[in-house]
Each structure stands twice: as structure tokens, then as C-alpha cells.
Amino acid sequence: MKKLAVRDLGRMPYGEALEIQDQANRSRYDEEIPDTLFFVEHPPVITLGRSTSEDDILISSEERSRLGVEVHRISRGGLATYHGPGQLVGYPIVHLYEQAVHIKRFITALERMFVDMLGELYNVDAHLDAENRGVWVGSRKITAVGIAVRNRVTMHGFAFNVTTDLSHFDWIIPCGIRDRGVTSLEECTGRTVNLADVRAQVTRAFRGTFGYTD
């Protein structure tokens, strides 16, 4: 029976959460902890994947300093991503060898999990895109996905826009895509959504998708 630990880090600066991920990745490889799903909400921050050009950041360094927006270059795939309040960020620390799953299948299963959850719980018609990673509602992305693997253990994860201030995505070219937009669960449903409720729903969906016990 596969066990999953779930930890809610609350609102935490990106750098602190990254240190926790790093330690958890080593601990999972050493079999000191089970697979773990971290949830966190970040203050406004821009992250840059391995192949990202800083040209994808549209807000000036002076404006970033004034607003307190950090920038981090990290080890995941993908391009520029924004994280901020109202966004449910999840970092799965999963041993792929023990899951007996390839990273591409892991990512696709994660994306399909959100498609199913959005349809079943919120009547939101989401889909995957053959050209671009993530989960889409029409031409607008609602969940970004970017995973890295170290020691056969995953890091980084997903960013689900729940009540996110979508105007902050104007600070970047999201995932390098110029001709598409972003959306949020609140915008799609037209009603107020509780982030804690969504976190519980994502936890249940993650356990079911990857076969963990409660």
C-alpha cells in the first residue's frame, strides 16, 4: 500500500520552499520519508525554467523592486511562470522508480487529474494541448505544470490559479506563449472559491490518480 504525506506550508517565500523541496528530495531518495505532496502559496514571484530568457520578463527591475517581486532561476523544465497569492502551488516529491512510471506519463497523469477534477466538481470544460504543457480552458491556461527529476525523485510541480490576480501575468510572457491567456477557477465559475476547500479536493484527486492510501 503506497503512502503519501501531505504538508501545507501556508504562505512562504519561494526560496524557503525551494530549500524544503531540496531536503525532501534527498530524504525521499534515502528512503527517510514517503512520497510527499507539499502545498504552498507564494508572495509574488517569477520563476524561470532552464531554457528561459530574461526577455520573457516584461516588468522592469525597478518596478519589481518597488513591488517586492522576486525572480528565481530554477532547475525545472518550461519557461517563465508567475506565482502569487490565490494560487495553489503543489510540489510532489515522488520516487518515480517506486511508482514504476516514466516522467512524461507522470506529468500527463497530473494534467489529466486537473481536467477531470475541474469537470466533475466545477463543470469547467478543461483540456490538454498537444503543443503546450499545462491545463487549458479554451485558449487560457488555468494550471501550469513544470517538473524536474533528481535522484529519480520529482521536484517542482503545478500552479493552479484559484483566486489569483490575473493582471500579474502581464509581468511575463507566461511559458513563452504570446498568443494565449491565463484564467482562474474563480473567473471560470463566476463565484468565490475557498482555497482550503480546493486544496482538499486536489489532495483527494492526487491520491486517487497515483494510487495512494488515505
pLDDT digits (tens, 9 = 90+) for 134-153: 999 999 999 999 888 998 99
Chain-centroid distance, C-alpha 162 = 12
pLDDT of residue 175: 63
Average pLDDT over residues 100-104: 84
Q: What is the percent of the chain where pLDDT is above 90?
A: 70
- Least confidently predicted of 16-30, 76-90, 141-155, 187-201: 76-90
Q: How confident is the model at residue 79 (pLDDT cuts 50, 70, 90)?
A: confident
Q: Is the pLDDT of residue 14 over 70?
A: yes
pLDDT of residue 77: 64
Q: Is the pLDDT of residue 168 over 90?
A: yes
**How far, CA to CA in Å, does 183 sit from each of 3, 61, 167?**
33, 26, 10
What distance in Å separates the CA atoms of residue 154 and residue 96, rounded to the nearest whole number?
7
pTM for this model (two decimals):
0.91
Which has more pLDDT, 186 or 55? 186
Q: Which secondary structure element, helix H or strand E, spans residue 48, and what is its range?
A: strand 45-48
What distance in Å separates the CA atoms of residue 133 and residue 180, rounded to the nearest whole number?
13
To the query of whether residue 175 is one of the catalytic residues in this protein, the response is yes
Domains of the chain: 4-209 (3.30.930.10)
Answer yes or no: are the C-beta atoms of 177 and 156 closer than 8 Å: no
Q: How confident is the model at residue 84 (pLDDT cuts 50, 70, 90)?
A: very high
What distance in Å separates the CA atoms of residue 214 and residue 212, rounded to the nearest whole number?
7
Average pLDDT over residues 196-203: 97
pLDDT of residue 110: 97
Which has more pLDDT, 102 or 10? 10
Answer yes or no: are the C-beta atoms of 179 and 54 closer than 8 Å: no
Catalytic: which of 17, 137, 175, 188?
Answer: 175
Across 84-93, b (16+ Cβ under 10 Å) vs e yields bebbbbbbbb
Q: Of 88, 76, 101, 212, which Cα lies nearest the Cα of 155?
A: 76
